[in-house]
Amino acid sequence: MSDSELTMGAAHGVLMEESPYGMQSKKLAMWLFIASDAVTFTAALVAYGFLRIGSPDWTKPFDFWPSIANGLVMTFVLLSSSLTMLVAVRAAKGGEKSKAVQWLGFTMLLGIIFAALHLREWFRMFDEGWRVYKNPTGGSVEFGAAFFSVTGLHLLHVISGVVAIAVITWGYNRGRLDSNHVETTSLYWHFVDIVWMFVFPLMYLMNAR
């Protein structure tokens, strides 16, 4: 088989063959990143578990109101953002550009609302005297370290995701990017949602009063 027969629509002189994964490289790269990020979050949660088990004076500071209730609203918002992202991807795959852009916008909005609710919770805790290194109840100071680290890492992912969706939306709307870019970005966003499915029970519900 000649070189030209092996090449599939690529630039001159470039040999290509079909990916065994049946997907573009950027999508496979996103899966690779998600696998590594999953392990990172697991390490953070295992560290939290280690500190919690090792602390005889662990604090459980979250009342249903406002903390758990706020967490429930945040969970609803993030789950809904995954749904809006799914609508956006389906629209993009179906060639409905304006609908896709609209639903990407809804996804970003819900991501921003999630981040705002999260920061509001953080500032409320700061007002009560919580810090990474301080526990106002007199219990283990490692609670603050664990809580703010894990939730902060997740919040960073949410904010980064909102920025990424904004960039992809802009490029897709201008015709510079296609539906595959939208789909690849959606993988990251769903991953961030799935991580919250662990963070909320382990960091909030396990520390509910």
Partner 1 sequence: MASDQGPGMTTYVSIWVGFLAIVGIEVAITYQHPETKHLLAILLVLAFIEAAIGLLYFMHMKYERKILFWTFVPITVFVLFMMDHVWPDAFRLFYLRLGQ
Interface ranges with partner 1 (CB under 8 A)? 20-23, 27, 31-32, 35, 38-39, 42-43, 46, 49-51, 53-56, 64, 68, 72, 75-76, 79-80, 82-83, 86-87, 90, 93, 183, 187, 190-191, 193-194, 197-198, 200-202, 205-206, 208
Host H or E run for residue 6: helix 3-6
Nearer to partner 1, 19 or 129 (CB): 19
Nearer to partner 1, 26 or 170 (CB): 26
Cα–Cα distances (Å) from 66 to 51, 57, 85, 154, 199, in that order, read: 25, 23, 28, 20, 17
User: Shortest gap between Cβ of 151 and partner 1 (angstroms)?
Assistant: 16
User: Shortest gap between Cβ of 200 and partner 1 (angstroms)?
Assistant: 7
User: Shortest gap between Cβ of 131 and partner 1 (angstroms)?
Assistant: 21
User: Shortest gap between Cβ of 135 and partner 1 (angstroms)?
Assistant: 15
Residue 166 burial (CB count, 10 A): 14
Would you put residue 13 in left (φ > 0), alpha (ψ -120 to 50) or beta? Answer: left
Nearest Cα residue to 103 out of 87, 116, 90, 119: 87
| Residue 179 to residue 165: CA distance in whole angstroms | 13
User: Shortest gap between Cβ of 101 and partner 1 (angstroms)?
Assistant: 18
Nearer to partner 1, 1 or 65 (CB): 65
| Residue 148 to residue 184: CA distance in whole angstroms | 29
Nearer to partner 1, 64 or 126 (CB): 64
Residue 135 burial (CB count, 10 A): 19
